[in-house]
Structure 1
């Protein structure tokens, strides 16, 4: 049976690791949060005191950390890379810049291990229901090793390329579209509010028209709430749209809409709403437009 180490037991990491346990995998996890470790233990997993301890003897190490810097710290400073089985596989499932993934993969390869670049989409709901979309890039052989694990985490598993970094680019494109969609819904709602249109009625109309989108239907209702439950924070899109713009610079691709959306999320964060649900970027539009 494949032994899995899981580092990064956050809002998505806990349900993901728990789903692996349910599917019969031996899972040892590490996180700085004692509550997260308790949750994994309650699900039938094992807790470790360090990332290196979690990775010791594991066949696959899943990194569901915040960013590339944390991934590098776990692998190269925390000792997890060397603790992994020789020829073991690291599944980097965090949202990272494509160039950073390529650099990490080179160091992993030189250490005699393999990396699969496999960011995810679907949020906490997808992590809990095991319906994540997984965008994996790496050699076909390496993908074959981790495919059963990915199948336990998501129902839409894609091999998007042979080269690590390509998965990160697919996720980058995904976040570009998501961020712009959220921002433009907020912009449209703010415009309608200027003339007193009932946003509940507007949402109903737009949801059934050619202007509809998944983001409109998901974030629109939360934009009508003053303080909705946080499913994805404003600061997530400050980070992710920053990655989008970095990718644009690296490839010399013009991304004017992404840049405009990034400015609105950045403004929302600067106003103190960084930890609010990302739908609350609408507060910044309201502030700009003088809408109460």
Structure 2
């Protein structure tokens, strides 16, 4: 049991102690995050629709839940699933978390979901005397496994404070950006939009200089050693230069889904996103070519293909 900064509410909270912890959604990101939490919550309860994903954690001592109903004794649960549909099924459907968790419990959704879905989750939990926090993350699966994610949270500040020991296991830094949970989802979607524009524009620039006879790796070294010394340029630049598109740390269909969500949010707020149109077309082109299993770094490799360079999308031809 871990002492939190303060007691959040009634129910199973006792003197500021989190008694039972759960984690639902064990994809590549969720598995790494749950493993980190297991080090501070040895009785962590885990659930995944595909039971095979629970076995590595079960081997380390985690309790495997057979259904969502098994989380009825949890004070704090995290969810990390692919999209709105999966999050709604887990949390809002008949027998979902909102109906299952006790009054006073906390649900932290780390999934990248729409603003509307986050609002619905907040309402459902508040109606049942529970607390809801949106806390999507920035980082790839290796960062999740190492506890190096960046956590973007919004919701009641006392809830954010109460889960501090768990945030410290999951990420290298946490940000609380507002009292309305959906604000965190808007920030996450805007960040993914920025990353997509970087991948696309970097791929285009790299294709331009390569076609002019300049080594793309040398060009990347110049960029990241001068004006563009940032993780997004270093990490995705290397993937593009190496033509590495597998394994998919973040698969193209998920990135395409996030573009749709950010475009919907922008329309609701009457904010033009002129770059979203070309990005949408690139995503559709890759989807039409059957590249749904590739990492979204393939956006940049697709720019090289469009320039007529000798590129095989999905070919993973890495150069030294």
Give the TM-score, by structure 1 length.
Answer: 0.93
Equivalent residues in 2 for 1:204-223, closer than 5 Å:
204-223=221-240
Residue 34 (structure 1) aligned to one of 28, 41, 51: 51
Structure 1 partner of 2:202: 185
Native 8 Å contact 1:199 1:224 kept in 2:
yes
**After alignment, is 219-228 or 32-41 more displaced?**
219-228
Residues 131, 212 of structure 1: CA spacing in aligned structure 2 closer, same or farther, 3 A cutoff?
closer
Kindly indicate which of the two structures has a greater share of residues assigned to helix. 1
Structure 2 partner of 1:76: 92
Question: Aligned equivalents of 1:4 and 1:24: distance in 2?
Answer: 7
Three-state SS of the structure 2 residue aligned to 1:40 is: helix
Describe the superposition over 1:201-244 as per-residue Cα deviations: whole angstroms up to 9, x where unpaired.
Answer: 21122221214442221012221334443222222221112211
Describe the superposition over 1:35-81 as per-residue Cα deviations: whole angstroms up to 9, x where unpaired.
Answer: 3110111222110111222x120001111011122111112224322
Question: Aligned equivalents of 1:135 and 1:89: distance in 2?
Answer: 17
Residue 300 (structure 2) aligned to one of 275, 282, 285: 282
Aligned residues between the structures = 291
1:156 aligns with 2:184: no
Question: Aligned equivalents of 2:305 and 2:245: distance in 1?
Answer: 18
Residue 240 (structure 1) aligned to one of 254, 258, 261: 258
Equivalent residues in 2 for 1:44-63, closer than 5 Å:
44-53=61-70, 55-63=71-79
Describe the superposition over 1:134-192 as per-residue Cα deviations: whole angstroms up to 9, x where unpaired.
Answer: 11111122222222222221120111111111111111121121111111111111212
Question: Aligned equivalents of 1:225 and 1:133: distance in 2?
Answer: 26
Question: Aligned equivalents of 1:104 and 1:122: distance in 2?
Answer: 24
Structure 2 partner of 1:263: 281
Q: Which runs of 5+ in 2 are unaligned?
A: 2-17, 311-320
Describe the superposition over 1:250-289 as per-residue Cα deviations: whole angstroms up to 9, x where unpaired.
Answer: 1000111233223223322222222112112234223322
Three-state SS of the structure 2 residue aligned to 1:278 is: coil
Give the TM-score, by structure 2 length.
Answer: 0.86
Question: Aligned equivalents of 1:35 and 1:145: distance in 2?
Answer: 32
Residues 283, 270 of structure 1: CA spacing in aligned structure 2 closer, same or farther, 3 A cutoff?
farther
Three-state SS of the structure 1 residue aligned to 2:104 is: coil
Structure 1 partner of 2:131: 114
Q: RMSD of the alignment, in Å?
A: 1.7
Native 8 Å contact 1:245 1:259 kept in 2:
no
Three-state SS of the structure 1 residue aligned to 2:165 is: helix
Question: Aligned equivalents of 2:144 and 2:244: distance in 1?
Answer: 24
Three-state SS of the structure 1 residue aligned to 2:278 is: helix
